[in-house]
Amino acid sequence: MASAKGNGLTWRVIFDEAGTGAHNMARDHALAMSARRGEGVLRLYSWSAKTVSFGRHEPANELYDKSAADAAGIAFVRRPTGGRAVLHNAELTYGLVLPDRTYRGPKGVYTKIHEGLAHGLAQLGVEAEVAAGGVVLTPDAGPCFQVPAPGEVVVGGQKLVGSAQVRIGNALLQHGSIILDGDQSDLNQLNSTADPVPAPATLRALVGEVSTWDLAEAITGGLRGVLGGQWQEGEYRSGELEEAAWLESERYGNDEWTWRQLLLGGRDEKVHSPLDECYGGTVVVAGLGDILGGMNAAAPNDIVAQQHQQFVNLMTLLDYDEEAMPRSDLAEGWEVSDDDR
């Protein structure tokens, strides 16, 4: 395997315990919120219960049979990232946080991470590759593992890894599912409107029995070889778990967020629905700095942007194209300051 030139980042690797959907999404989000210049984080984890996760903007309310899910012991959560529905069960999930301008932005990061995953899987004997082509799908186009998209990790044309990405402040969060075993067929039992989900490639079907730990070590090695930098096993820093606990309680464990995609207020505020009387039809701005900050609806911690997005139907200053690159919406143009802030 060819080793990449170091990108100068210092990487912290967290091998986490299994958690609920709300717990896992909150920890990924908290790590992105605490990101520091010159540092990256790799978090590897699994799920304590079978869970369907929705993409941030994916329609879900009234499409899924909640009673059938309860009977089958399947939970729901909405991710901070985009993309489409994934059934999490027998898998290893990776979460990567790094500065948003690494590898020239979201598209470059997406490609490099998938190259690293493919190299790691090769250590287990998996002939994985990064898809050159594929189908670009909208968030409402069906389950994530239905068809590969450009740049995803595939084996023999079948998707093995499903990933999604979001910009949070000055950081990019990308996380994804590496399927160990099983299929996504339960999604069809819960959402009769979706097209049938073909069985994805699974590691155990490809190479036989493989442990979660072996997979975690292989993935870490592959990413280290491609992304470069200094890597070491680490822990959560002060304040990160507290932030995650708040996010789990107020957002990711909140059914109204999961099913109606609510706005997230500040730490001392209630989580409001855009239908609440207190919002009316007016964008609430705390100060001029909120406007100067960009009102970028792609940044989930930009509260003003989220209010703006709800009330004017996704018209924002900037959004992202199918290749996750920024483009103008209302803005005529933009530039980045010398300090990248």
Distance separating alpha carbons of residues 263 and 275, to the nearest angstrom: 10
Strands (E), the chain: 10-15, 39-45, 51-54, 75-78, 86-88, 91-99, 129-130, 153-155, 158-159, 161-168, 171-179, 230-233, 318-320, 326-328
The answer to whether 77 and 47 have CB atoms below 8 angstroms apart is no
Residue 102 to residue 11: CA distance in whole angstroms: 13
The reply to whether 278 belongs to the active site is no
Catalytic residue among 31, 144, 171, 194: 144
CB of 41 closer than 8 Å to CB of 14: yes
Taking 3-state DSSP, the helix, strand and coil percentages for the chain, each rounded to the nearest 5, stand at 30, 20, 50
- Residues 102, 105, 108, 109: is their CA dihedral positive or negative? positive
**19 token code pair:** 């958690």
Known catalytic residues are 144
